[in-house]
Amino acid sequence: MQRTSVPPIYNVTICGGTHGNELTGVYIVREMQKQKMEKAGSVSVTTVETNPRAVAAGRRYTEMDLNRCFTDVLLSSPITESTPYEVRRAQELNAQLGPKGSAKAVDLLIDLHNTTSNMGLCFIFYSIDWITLHIYKYIENNLNSVPVRAIQLDIPSSEAYSLESVGKHGFAIEVGPQPCGVLRADIFNVVKEALDLTLQWLQKFSSGHSFEGGTVDAYTFVKSVDYPRDSAGKATAIIHQDLQDNDFKLLRSGDPIFQTFSGDILKYEGEDLYPFFVNECAYYEKKIAFHLAQKKTYSFPHISVKND
């Protein structure tokens, strides 16, 4: 199999509180700061609470979803008096951790999130990047407490809108189900374990260890499905109990997806696809009941760190 040498990872930044009511990241970052977790072997570790105002308010965001503010357009838009807090904050974070796309950007950015959907632990990333896939594989092989999956968003870097796109390498770790505003110890433990494994991998990588290639089955976003709505725009149905909590279970034509308040069942029509973010509470306002994905297999090569 192909062997590739990859530039070193000198630093990693772990972010929490990008959505102020997704509490695992908030408390993991606070604990890492308390323990003064600044180094993992030769790799330097930074932690950032990215949306402190939203965290203090116990809300996802104050004016605008911070995790949609990292497109090239929004990062370079002029700041005026009416610029939402989160757009300003995104530009601050881009200056601190980026600039996005430049040589100065942090080597690896990991952004911690929670979802109300039953998604276990998911890596969410934009590009098929060997570092990300190797770390994913390492976690998939070593973390046994919850299902581990990879989600790929096929969006070019300039349009990539979320925080992890600022780093040279980046991915979000999304873990659920956890209600917004709630901190569950079991989820906290899972994320802590995933981060410990990530830092372990980075140390091994930095010290010259060679990692075997392989394949990853990733779910690639295809489209979203909204709730049925009435003429006033109000949802007229909720996720059907057969779909609820069945993220990543193949959805086929004829399978129930919604039940209306009056008791009717609405069925899915379309190609066989995998649902995820099923009944994510923050997506009601984004008019998303669930996303649909195809499953694709990606191969990745043996890698080791490039020596100067």
Partner 1 sequence: MQVDEPVLLPRLSRVAVCGGTHGNELSGVYLVREMLKTEKRKEDGEPASVLMVLSNPRAMQQCSRYVDTDLNRCFTHATLNGPVSEGAPYEIFRARELNALLGPKGSRAAVDLICDLHNTTANMGLSFIAYSDCDWICLHIFRYLQMPDTPMRFIHFDVSTKESYSLDSIGKHGFAMEIGPQPHGCVKSNIYTAMKEGVQHMQDWVRCFNSGCVFDGGPVDVFTMVKNLDYPRDGETRSITAAIHPRLQDRDFCLLHPGEPLFQAFSGETIKYKGNEPLYAFFINECAYYEKGIALSLARKKRVTVPSIRVQTDEEERASEQSFASEEEE
Q: Which residues bind partner 1 (CB under 8 A)?
A: 27, 30-31, 34-35, 58-59, 116, 177, 179-186, 188-189, 234, 238-241, 244, 259, 261-262, 279, 281-282, 284-285
Beta strand 108-114 with 169-176 is parallel
Q: How far is the CB of 113 from partner 1 (least distance, A)?
A: 15
Residue 38 among known ligand-binding residues: no
Whole-number Å distance between alpha carbons of 178 and 265: 27
Assess contact for 173 and 119: CB atoms under 8 A.
no
209 is in an annotated binding site: no
Q: In sequence order, what DSSP letters do the residues of 123-153 get, joined into one string?
A: EEESS--HHHHHHHHHHHHH--SS-EEEEE-
Nearer to partner 1, 70 or 283 (CB): 283
Name the residue among 283, 251, 279, 301 with its Cα closest to residue 67: 283
The single-letter DSSP state of residue 42 is: T
CA dist 50 and 12 (Å) reads: 15
Nearest approach, Cβ of 161 to partner 1 (angstroms)?
22
Residue closer to partner 1 (CB basis): 47 or 165 = 47
A 10 A CB-CB count for 164 gives 26
CB of 56 to partner 1, least distance (A): 11
26 vs 20: CA distance, rounded Å: 8
Sheet holding 120-125, edge to edge: 39-40, 43-49, 11-16, 108-114, 169-176, 120-125, 148-152, 214-225, 290-300, 274-276
Positions annotated as catalytic residues are 174
Mapping DSSP to helix (H, G, I), strand (E, B) and coil, where does residue 73 land?
Answer: helix
User: Does 140 appear as a known binding residue?
Assistant: no
- Identify which of residues 159 and 186 has a Cβ nearer to partner 1 in the complex: 186
Closer Cβ to partner 1, 98 or 176, answer by number: 176
H or E stretch including 63? none
Which CB atom, from 13 or from 116, has the smaller least distance to partner 1?
Answer: 116
Q: Is the peptide bond before 99 cis (omega within 30 degrees of 0)?
A: yes
- Binding site for Zn(2+), by residue number, is 19, 22, 113
